[in-house]
Structure 1
Amino acid sequence: MKTGGNTLLITGGGSGIGRELAREFHALGNTVIVAGRTASSLEETIDGREGMFARTLDVQDAADITRFATALIEDFPSLNVLFNNAGMMAKEDWLADPVDLSVAENTMATNVLGPMRLTAALLPHLRAQPVARLVNVTSGLAFVPLAHTPAYSASKAAIHAWTQSLRYQLQDTNVEVIELAPPGVRTALTPGQSTRTSYMPLEDFIAETMESFRIEDTPDEVVVQRAKMLRAAEANGQHAEVFQMLNDNYEG
């Protein structure tokens, strides 16, 4: 797929990975729409850049996704790339009595149902384009879970499996399906994460990730070097060892 001349939608584009990916793809000559809940953050992302647009969207709200998708297709009929990037991550205490399920429920609504609903709303349009691409952002934690954030890890494992299934179902269509699985990156996804020295600097993650997206034959899974240990742990017979190390060294 060509790297320029596309029309991309990136959810969660008001900060972090979504914001920086949006700016990188815009610099390659693409029209980019960023979506998220907070209009002011989205406006900071586009920052007067011609060819970048901001649209508000609550991915937890099924009705809002329907509204958003209808308006988006009308405003941007050339839309041919969707990045399902919006997500949330929070710690959970399963030793509490009673257990508070609100974090798990909100995480699943945002990280699982959100991408599924938005993809369902946009996929018929994407399939009608000459070439199209669907990118689902998961996590290294899809492969080795962080015990302190069980719903987040489970949600990313679910999207990994869903992405593989979509790739198979869409293999004879014009829609290319890609998974982007980051390691821990210095963003504001969780409190204090942006300054944790053990996490990958955001600019380094974006630079390495874009090496894969700048080539037309982008791999099915975009996994930077820092995430490959997690991705390969099961296949290498090291899952238990990596799980223990990951969770014993957690800084949150």
Structure 2
Amino acid sequence: MEISGRTVLLTGGTAGIGEQTALQLKAKGATVIVTGRNAERLKAMRERGFEAIQADLSMPTGAEDILRTLGDRSIDILINNAGQGVDHDFREAQPDGDAADHCIYANLNTPIRLIAALVPRLKQRPQAAIVNVTSGLAIAPRAGGPVYCATKAGLRSYTQAIRAQLAGTSVSVIEALPPVVETALTAGRGGKKMAADECARQIVEGIEKGRAEVNVGLVKVLQAVHSASPALARKVMLRF
């Protein structure tokens, strides 16, 4: 898919993978509309030439704010990148149900709402794409993040189903599965982390090449292990 000249709506585009993806798409000639919660980061993105919408996607009003601001504008590419984690480990403390709800809304409900609202206008474009950023943890969960993993697995299933529904239309449906990336979400976690700009580069390349799945970095290895033995992949990942 040619990036130049496209209009992109990118959620969670003011930091981390989203910020780097926005920069790379803009460098390739796209008009990029980013969303975020932090007013200072949104201002910084506007100063760099991006359109920016303030919206909290962990609640229903977030998607509504985005859609109201967009109005009837045409969109070529929707990238559901925004995501948040939540502490939910019974070995550490009693989990907070409200915090889990916010995580579920940000990572699963809001992408579904945006897709449902924007598919009609995406189908009007000669060539369009929906890109859902899930995670390697959508393939096999880690024990310490059950809610986050569940939202990403849910978005992966949703992505696969709507890809079948939209087959034969002008809308491609792409899933991007990053590994552990150096972002605020993974701050404090040990182990090897991919740089956000390299993760973004691989995602953008996947969009350009029209790949249905973009397995980023070490997720390629996880996919191979899971293909050979789902039980082994789960056993390995649950240790983290």
Counterpart among 185, 199, 217 of residue 205 in structure 1: 199
Could you tell me which residue of structure 2 aligns to residue 155 of structure 1?
A: 151
Structure 1 contact 83–134 (Cα < 8 Å) conserved: yes
**Distance change in 2, residues 1:70/1:173 (3 Å):** farther
**Secondary structure of 1:34 counterpart:** strand
Amino acid at match of 1:133: A
Counterpart among 181, 191, 205 of residue 187 in structure 2: 191
Q: Deviations over 1:124-161 (max 9, x none)?
A: 22122222111000000000101100011011000000
Could you tell me which residue of structure 2 aligns to residue 92 of structure 1?
A: 88
**Equivalences for residues 161-176 of structure 1 within 5 A:** 161-176=157-172
> 1:240 aligned to 2:231?
yes
Aligned residues: 240
Q: What's the C-alpha RMSD, in Å, of the aligned pairs? A: 2.0
Structure 1 contact 39–54 (Cα < 8 Å) conserved: no
Task: Give the Cα–Cα distance (whole angstroms) in 2 for the partners of residues 232 and 102 of structure 1.
Answer: 36
Structure 1 segments (4+ residues) deviating >4 Å: 95-99
**Distance change in 2, residues 1:229/1:72 (3 Å):** same
Q: Deviations over 1:187-234 (max 9, x none)?
A: 1113325xx45111223323333333333xx21001123111222333
Counterpart among 218, 223, 231 of residue 223 in structure 2: 231
Task: Give the Cα–Cα distance (whole angstroms) in 2 for the partners of residues 167 and 66 of structure 1.
Answer: 24
Task: Give the Cα–Cα distance (whole angstroms) in 2 for the partners of residues 134 and 208 of structure 1.
Answer: 16
Please, what TM-score do these two structures have when normalized by structure 1? 0.87
**Distance change in 2, residues 1:93/1:172 (3 Å):** same
Structure 1 contact 66–121 (Cα < 8 Å) conserved: no
Give 1:99 shift.
4.6
**Distance change in 2, residues 1:225/1:68 (3 Å):** closer
**Distance change in 2, residues 1:233/1:91 (3 Å):** farther
> 1:135 aligned to 2:131?
yes
Amino acid at match of 2:194: M
Give 1:86 shift.
0.7
Give 1:4 shift.
1.0
Structure 2 contact 8–79 (Cα < 8 Å) conserved: yes
Amino acid at match of 1:210: V
**Secondary structure of 2:79 counterpart:** strand
**Equivalences for residues 1-252 of structure 1 within 5 A:** 1-49=1-49, 52-74=50-72, 77-95=73-91, 99-193=95-189, 196-215=190-209, 218-237=210-229, 239-248=230-239, 250=240
Amino acid at match of 2:104: M
Amino acid at match of 2:107: N
Task: Give the Cα–Cα distance (whole angstroms) in 2 for the partners of residues 222 and 203 of structure 1.
Answer: 15
Provide the identity percentage: 36
Q: Deviations over 1:65-112 (max 9, x none)?
A: 2242132034xx232110001111123123578553233222111111
Amino acid at match of 1:36: G
Please, what TM-score do these two structures have when normalized by structure 2? 0.91
Q: Which runs of 5+ in 1 are unaligned?
A: none
Structure 1 contact 141–230 (Cα < 8 Å) conserved: no
